[in-house]
Amino acid sequence: MVNSIAYTEFLKSLEIAKALIQLDIYKEPPNQNDKKYVYGLRGGSAILIVASFNEFLNILPDIHLDVIKRHANNIDFSKLPDVLIITNVNRTLKQFSMKNDVKKLPDAKNACRSIINDEINPTVFKLQGFNPKPGHIINLFNVIGVREIFKHITKKFQRRWQKKINTNIIKGKLSEIIDRRNKVAHNTSLASQITKNDLNEAIDFLRILARLLDITYKKQINNLCISAKK
């Protein structure tokens, strides 16, 4: 399957993170004079890796749900999953709520028209939350009708990872990567706890995870277009 724009851009970002890691040629453990460089490179890499994954997940709905939007004339909106329809309506109205600002009235009217016309709004299906934690990713897929996304991809992930792994380990490893980023973002001194192996493993892990999420999202939307065809 051809890579989506979301996944292609994610891979480009990972290459930047790899470049930062390759600059880390200092001995282990680093001496006192080198620590600021080592911790800066590793902390920056940890943050960039997670930021890139987060951006990938936010682009995913825009790329794939646009298929429904472009083929709206051939799709019976009522045949789409209830959870997708309800999410589309609720979040569209919430996104364009006026909040006592009359200047937002045109946006609010347009939101109402799009709902009346059974139009999908891909932007409201973005990741709900500040970090791409497992629970947020599960919700990202729940609203398009894919339940238990991590369980859904576990066997395929194991084949690509080439190590015995289960669903809980995948979610646990993702949480570990996210938590590492969060700790460094709020306390730079914690970058001293990050190794180059940690970063390289995170890149390999997220590259596989993102690929499987991309494939699953695209396949689900294509299946919905077929099942909801007029």
What are φ and ψ of residue 229, in 5° steps?
-65, 140
**Residue 84 pLDDT > 80:** yes
pLDDT digits (tens, 9 = 90+) for 148-173: 999 999 999 999 999 999 999 999 99
Q: Would you state the pLDDT for residue 2? A: 83
Q: Is the peptide bond before 29 cis (omega within 30 degrees of 0)?
A: yes
**What sign does the dihedral 170-221-140-7 (CA atoms) show?**
positive
The pLDDT-based confidence of 110 (bands split at 50, 70, 90) is confident
Q: What are the residue ranges spanned by the domains of the chain? A: 5-227
Contact by Cβ (8 Å): 141, 216: yes
pLDDT digits (tens, 9 = 90+) for 5-49: 999 999 999 999 999 999 999 988 899 999 999 999 999 999 999
Q: Which residues of 183-200 are buried (b: 16+ CB within 10 A; e: fewer)?
A: bbeeeeebbeebebebbe
The pLDDT-based confidence of 97 (bands split at 50, 70, 90) is low
Contact by Cβ (8 Å): 224, 68: yes
Provide mean pLDDT across the span 192-215: 97
Contact by Cβ (8 Å): 174, 209: yes
pTM of the model: 0.93
Helix (H) or strand (E) holding 35: helix 35-70
Q: Would you state the pLDDT for residue 169? A: 97
Percentage of the chain beyond pLDDT 70 is 98
Q: How far is CA 134 from CA 55, 88, 177, 224, in A?
A: 15, 22, 11, 24
Q: Rounded CA gap, 202 and 174, in Å?
A: 8
Structure tokens at 226: 């077929």
C-alpha closest to that of 132 among 206, 30, 195, 80: 206
The pLDDT-based confidence of 1 (bands split at 50, 70, 90) is confident
**Range scoring the smallest mean pLDDT among 117-131, 159-173, 205-219:** 117-131
Q: What are the DSSP E strand ranges found in 143-214? A: none
C-alpha closest to that of 20 among 203, 211, 209: 203
